[in-house]
Amino acid sequence: MRKEEFLKPINSELMGNSGIKASKPQKNHIETFKTGTTTVGLTCKDAIILGTDKRATMSYFVASKTAEKLHKIQDHLWMTIAGSVADCLYLVDILRAETAIYQLKHDNRPIKVQSAGKLLSNILYQNKMFPFQVGLILGGVTEEEGPVILNISAYGSILPGKYCAVGSGQSYSYGVLEAKFKDNLSIEKGKEIIKKAITSSIIRDMYSGNGIDIVVIKKEGPADREFIPI
């Protein structure tokens, strides 16, 4: 039985002849908290750069000023998170475990970014009736693919691109990315654009703030991580 069948009302001939009326489910009011963030990613020459702010919010309350929104999946593969913290961290753990198992089975060969993205997309799509409340940017560099950025939504859609932004401050970041991005950027120029993009969101979006976290994933060597206080 598909998940959709569980959501249909019960109407049968037996119920109709018995005079029993199926009661409608009561609508319970569940208070939800608006959350926000700004996460940005772009591709450079033989590298990708991911950046996030550090603020976590619950409605108008700043729940944390040191939230971790940049997560290492594997040495060559990192992910930014936006949305429900519990959902995001669960998916980070699952993806980290699945990619580690894949690499162990393949003589520690790095998993392709597209393959990791498809794996995550399948997990999200299988739960689309009760979706994870997330917005994710998956990025990495492999020998076969080069630098890859994937924007992955809560329903599992994959939108590859040379740059992207996710979160409540994405509109302001996209303004900077559209104006400043060029092909074959140097790492220093790319970092400068990421800083400007997130800063523009911090200035205008009340749900973003408290500094900028940046990671540079290069074709060779370990990733470089940097925190910029604001």
What's the whole-number mean pLDDT along residues 200-219?
95
pLDDT of residue 14: 46
Residues forming a β-bridge with 184? none
Catalytic residue among 37, 57, 99, 142: 37
Which domain range does residue 116 map to? Answer: 38-220
Confidence check: pLDDT of 3 > 60:
no
User: What's the number of domains the chain is made of?
Assistant: 1
Residue 166, domain member (yes or no): yes
Decide if 37 is catalytic.
yes
Residue 24, domain member (yes or no): no
**DSSP calls for 74-89:** ETTEEEEEEE-HHHHH
Residue 30, domain member (yes or no): no
* pLDDT band for position 11 (cuts 50, 70, 90): low
Q: What's 212's domain CATH number?
A: 3.60.20.10
Q: pLDDT tens, 15-52?
A: 455 555 555 555 554 444 456 899 999 999 989 999 99
Residue 186, domain member (yes or no): yes
Q: pLDDT tens, 51-94?
A: 999 999 988 899 999 999 999 999 999 999 999 999 999 999 99
**pTM for the complete prediction?**
0.84
Residue 119, domain member (yes or no): yes
